Structure formats: C-alpha cells, structure tokens
Amino acid sequence: MTLPLDNVASFGVLCAILGVLFFLKNRGGFWDRFFVFIPIVLLCYLIPSLLRSFGIVASADDGLWQVTKDYFLPAALILMTLSIDLKAIMGLGSKALIMFFTATIGIVIGGPIAILIVGSFSPETVGGEGADAVWRGMATLAGSWIGGGANQTAMLEVYGYNPERYGAMVAVDIVIANIWMVFLLYGAGNVEKVDRWLKADSSAIDNLRDKMANFTLSVERTSTTPEIMLLLAVAFGGVGLSHLLGSFMSDIFSAMPAFTGSFLAGKFFWIVVIATTLGVGLSFTKARDLEGAGASKFGTVLIFLLVAIIGTKMDIFKMAEAPMLILVGFIWMLFHSILLIVVAKMIRAPFFFVAVGSKANVGGAASAPVVAAAFHPALAPVGVLLAVLGYALGTYGAILCAQLMQAVAP
C-alpha cells in the first residue's frame, strides 16, 4: 500500500471515520460527555486534517474537493432549503448583517495592522519591491477572505504579484483560514455557553430551529424507495440544472469586458445561487413534503462529508514553510476575530451570527453553509445568503485593503 491513499481510498477512509464517530455518539454514557467537551463536528474536521498532514489520505485539492464542490455542495443546498421557512430566515433581524459587515471591516483593517506590527520588527517580511512587494500578495488574501476564490484570482491579476511567490500566500490562506474554522466549529458545538457569555438573544434563531424541527416531525414517515429515488432526482437533477445554467450565466458575463475576472463571471458563484434558488423555490411547492422522506437528513450527511473533505485541505506542516508570513496572517485573523467578539458583545449578537458572518467572508459559499449547518441544518441557507453578499463585496473590499496595506508597507 502506498501513501497517501488515492482519492477513492481516501474517500472511503473519510466515510468510515464519519461512521465511527456517529456510531460512538449514539452509544451514550461516556461518549455523551466526551462529545460535549469535543463537538463531533470538530472531530469530523480535525481527524481528516491530521491524516492529511501525516500523508495518510490525499489532499482535497488532489481531486476530492472538485467533486465535493461540484456535486455534494449544491445537492446539500437544495435538500436543506426545499423545506425552509424563508419568512422566518428574513425575520432573523439586523444583527446578521451587522456581524457580516463587522467581519468584512475586520479583514479590511486587519491587513494593514498586521503589516504595521510585523514590519516594526521584521520589515523584510512585509517589504519587497515591484511584483515582489508582499502587500501585493496579501491583496490576494484580502480577496479570498472577503469574497472567495474568484476575488482572490482577480486581485492576483489586478496587482500583478509574482506568481513564483504566490504559493506562500496560498499556504497562509489555507493554514490560517482552517485554524480559524477549528475555533468556529468548537464554538458551534458549545453555542449555549458562548451565547450566555455574550449575553446574546438567540430567540429568533431558536424559533427558526424549533419551527423546522417541528415541521420535520409533523411530516416524518418511513421512507419508501420511490420517495428516496425522487429525492435523488430532485437533488442531483438540481445539481445538473445548476451547472447547466451556471455555465450559461458565466459565459454571458465573461463575454462582457466590464465583468471579466469578477465574481459574476465565475461559474461556481452561479451554481451556488441557482442551487439555493431552486431549493427555496421548491419550498413553496408540494416538494416541501419531501422533508418527511428525509431531505434534510440526506443534506446533513452531505454537509458532514463536506466538513471531512474540507479538513483534508489543511496541512499543519505548511506552517513551517513561511513562518513569518503565517505570523502576519495570524495577527490579521486575530484582529478580525477580536473585532467580531467585541461587536457581538456590544450588541448581544448570538455566536451563530459571529461564526456565519465570519465564514461568509473568509470561507465563502463553500464553507459558510457548512458552519451554519453545524448549528442546525435549517440554518444553512443563512450562510449561503451572506456568502453571496461576500462575493459581491469581495473585490471592492480587497482593493480598499490593498491600498491601505500599500500605504503602510515598509
């Protein structure tokens, strides 16, 4: 046997890990106490990341992530939104938007602050001239952490950072963003304690969660084979339609010079938007009753597969490749997180809004619904809606951040 395992074997190992973890969670006794201390969603993320770091399973970037992003994510979005109460989501209030914009501001301001701090004792780390200027590379981080991959690529083109040095920025992006996700997932598993500390009013979130749980119970039944096949048709038929229409929309905007390189020209953006729209649209039809056949349960399975595969994107040993740049990223994300917590404490925002507002910026549509669903499957669409807003603001926020970083760079 050669290591790391190939994609098929790695996928099997990840599924086995998820199976063992959920088997233990249902054992009761000691395991109930264990999973209170270490949330299951965190283990579903950390164990694959450790296996990836030690070279046992393949990295998600070797092929698994492409399949996951193209098939599992849009299918999960459709299944988890087809029974959603859109009015209740809209009724979550202004705190969701406040925390989202706070997260954006934290990234915009955090970049130049990190450069100032590190530049005070290691100017060579954040210096450089021309295409090698570190602030140009960090502009790509700003694009990624406010919008996503499309915005990151756009910043690389706009500021012309040296491609040979770009790999170090990608390493910072992956390491820091995934370490931050560890804390968010841990908080999601202990949300009641965190909300008590924040003195947050989470009644709107609780009401939505309970309303969805009650609806599920009211329509739940023993699934038949025809119903499961119908779920499969809705989910993956919707995936196919999302890709078809996503390619069409992407081609339209790519052909317009004004939108070349923008998030509107990205196929993945349209796949997420269309899949979510399909699911929400179905929630106004009889298809909503498919919740009784297990729509959100299947969606949750796909979400946990996403968590496990995202875990294999993190290689903890990459921290040694560019330690000083990692430090810049760490300070940057630390400012972002402190600002979020301070504002949440001031307005008594639930931790759910902190986590989803942050990941809608830092993770985008690929991970914001994953973090939202870690609180409750019914909340996944909130992550999607905010992530779409992040795409829209990503380029503008990243340009502002880049200009500030250029102004303070040594």
pLDDT in tens, 248-281: 999 998 888 877 766 678 788 788 888 888 988 8
Entry field: residues in the chain: 410
Task: For residue 167, tell me if it sits in a domain.
Answer: yes
**pLDDT level of residue 115 (50, 70, 90 thresholds):** very high
The percentage of residues in the chain with a pLDDT greater than 70, rounded to a whole number, is 96
More confident residue, 156 or 325: 325
Predicted local distance difference test score (pLDDT) of residue 111: 93
Q: Which residue has the higher pLDDT, 240 or 90?
A: 240
E strands in 232-391: none
If DSSP codes are grouped into helix, strand and coil, which group holds residue 149?
helix
Predicted local distance difference test score (pLDDT) of residue 261: 66
Query: Strand, coil or helix: what is 319?
Result: helix
d(CA 368, CA 123): 35
| Structure-model confidence comparison of residues 315 and 18, the more confident one | 18
Helix segments in 264-322, DSSP class H? 267-282, 295-311
Residue pair 244/274 in contact by the 8 Å Cβ criterion: no
Whether 200 has a pLDDT exceeding 70, the answer reads yes
Confidence at residue 114, expressed as pLDDT on a 0 to 100 scale? 95
What number is the average pLDDT over the span 318-326?
78
Note whether 280 and 287 are within 8 A (CB): no
- Alpha carbon 241 to chain centroid, angstroms: 23
Quote the CA–CA distance of 308 and 305 in Å, as a whole number.
Answer: 5
Q: Is pLDDT at 397 greater than 80 in this prediction?
A: yes
pLDDT level of residue 349 (50, 70, 90 thresholds):
very high
Residue 27 located in a structural domain: no
Q: Are 379 and 208 in contact (CB under 8 A)?
A: yes
Choice among 94-103, 153-162, 349-358 with the minimum mean pLDDT: 153-162
Regarding predicted confidence, which is higher, 147 or 335?
335
Reduce the DSSP state of residue 170 to 3 states and report it: helix
The whole-number average pLDDT for the span 27-51 is 84
Domain around 249: 70-408
Q: CB-side exposure of 138: number of CA atoms within 13 Å?
A: 35
Q: Kindly state the average pLDDT of the residues 43-53.
A: 89
Confidence of residue 96 (pLDDT cuts 50, 70, 90): confident
pLDDT, position 242: 95
Please report the pLDDT score of residue 150 as a whole number: 65
Q: Is 69 helix (H, G, I), strand (E, B) or coil?
A: helix
Residue 45 lies in a domain: no
- Are 409 and 127 in contact by the 8 Å Cβ rule? The answer is yes
The answer, yes or no, to whether residue 297 has pLDDT greater than 70, is yes
pLDDT, residue 106, reads 95
Cα–Cα distance measured from residue 353 to residue 344, given in angstroms and rounded to the nearest whole number: 8
Q: Which residue has the higher pLDDT, 142 or 37?
A: 142
In terms of Cα–Cα distance, which of 184, 193, 191 is closest to 42?
184
Number of structural domains in the chain: 1
How crowded is residue 319: how many other Cβ atoms within 10 Å of its Cβ? 19
The burial class, CB within 10 Å (0-12 / 13-18 / 19+), for 321 is middle
State pLDDT tens for residues 231-243: 999 999 999 999 9
Average pLDDT in the chain: 86
According to DSSP, residue 365 is labeled: G
Q: pLDDT band at residue 380, thresholds of 50, 70 and 90?
A: confident
Query: In sequence order, which ranges of 255-294 are alpha helices (DSSP H)?
Result: 267-282
The beta strands (E) that lie in 121-164 are given as: none
| Cα separation, 373 vs 307, whole angstroms | 10
pLDDT at residue 236, rounded to an integer: 96
So what's the pLDDT on residue 229?
94
**What confidence score (pLDDT) does residue 321 get?**
67
What confidence tier does 338 reach under pLDDT thresholds 50, 70, 90?
very high
Q: Classify residue 10: in a domain, yes or no.
A: no
Burial of 62 from C-beta contacts in 10 A (0-12 / 13-18 / 19+): middle
DSSP letter assigned to residue 262: S
346 within 8 A of 102, measured Cβ to Cβ = no
Cα(126)–Cα(328) distance, integer angstroms:
8
| CA 322 to chain CA centroid, nearest Å | 24
pTM, 2 dp: 0.77
Least confident of 181-185, 259-263, 315-319, 343-347: 259-263
With respect to residue 290, please indicate whether it lies within any of the assigned structural domains: yes
Which residues have C-beta within 8 Å of that of residue 239, sequence separation ≥ 6?
70, 71, 74, 75, 78, 275
Which is more confidently placed, 405 or 207? 405
Report residue 407 as tokens. Answer: 């102004």
Mean pLDDT of 182-202: 88
Nearest residue to 187 (alpha-carbon basis) of 408, 21, 337, 18: 337
Is 115 contained in some domain?
A: yes
